[in-house]
Amino acid sequence: MAESKKRIQELTKAELEIMQVIWNIDREFVIRDIHELLPDPKPAYSTVSTIVRILDTKGFLTHKTYGHSNVYSAAVSKDDYTESFMHGVLNSFFGGSVSGLVSYFSSRKSISVQETDEILKILNDDKK
């Protein structure tokens, strides 16, 4: 992520759950679309509506009004949010060090040999 880019605000757990559904929809939507796609037990429709309005206010969504209905679309892509979030984690917890991040997971035995091979392949492919 370019340093000149404004850091995207972090989402709450509930906001992220709604945004995950929105990113998967990948088109304009109404609140009912999101509510129907949420896993059971579903939050109340009014809760989803409130979270969507908050996401709109925070700039994660845009909307068009048709009569008394709003049609929404994502204003922040999943890739942009992920990049901003991970950049924040990397800087906040690992001083910007990717090796520090990998070392953290490796020391906790969270990285399998297969995953290590995949990481090395990614790094080697990026160098080409």
- Reported as a single tens digit per residue, the pLDDT across 43-72 is 999 999 999 999 999 999 999 999 999 999
The partner residues of 69 in beta bridges, in order of sequence, read: 66
Q: Which residue has the higher pLDDT, 118 or 30?
A: 30
Buried b (16+ CB within 10 A) or exposed e, 84-109: beebeeeeeeeeeeeeebeeeeeeee
Output the pLDDT for position 106.
Answer: 80
pLDDT digits (tens, 9 = 90+) for 1-21: 444 456 789 999 999 999 999
| The pLDDT of residue 128 is above 70 | no
| The pLDDT of residue 29 is above 90 | yes
The span from the CA of 94 to the CA of 71, in Å, is 40
Output the pLDDT for position 39.
Answer: 93
Cβ(67)–Cβ(53) below 8 Å = no
Output the pLDDT for position 1.
Answer: 40
Identify the sign of the CA torsion 10, 16, 20, 21.
negative
The span from the CA of 122 to the CA of 31, in Å, is 39
Average predicted confidence (pLDDT) for the chain: 89
The span from the CA of 50 to the CA of 56, in Å, is 10
Q: 13-74, which class in CATH?
A: mainly alpha
Comma-separated ranges of CATH 1.10.10.10 domains in the chain: 13-74
